[in-house]
Amino acid sequence: DGGITQSPKYLFRKEGQNVTLSCEQNLNHDAMYWYRQDPGQGLRLIYYSQIVNDFQKGDIAEGYSVSREKKESFPLTVTSAQKNPTAFYLCASSRGLAGGRLDTQYFGPGTRLTVL
């Protein structure tokens, strides 16, 4: 089955610790994205990558870092510099520029991060 997997589903972290959220896709998509969702709000873009070895900051990148060493993988690290990291994190992928106006993003099941 093709799709996007995120792990773990629930993650707990102590203040001051870095934590890495996994995102893997087997859809052969070029573009991958990380969003953050808070209660009562829409999704906000953290980072995106349109191609391997390249990524760009989104609207709320402070306190986060990413890497894109493989086409299939786009891990997100939540660092201790992120002031309010408790949230639901969603990873998505799409064909990106190859998809043109028809491009559609497909989402993983999400990781709920709680800082204790």
Contact positions vs another protein (CB under 8 A): 4, 6, 31, 33, 40-45, 48, 50, 56, 58-59, 90, 92, 94, 96-97, 99, 101-110
CA distance 71 to 104: 17
Q: Which amino acid is at 18?
A: N
Pairwise CA distance, residues 40 & 69, whole Å: 34
Smallest separation, CB 111 to another protein (Å): 10
Place of tokens 């028809």: 102
What's the closest the beta carbon of residue 28 comes to another protein, in angstroms?
A: 16
Closest to another protein by CB, 36 or 85:
36
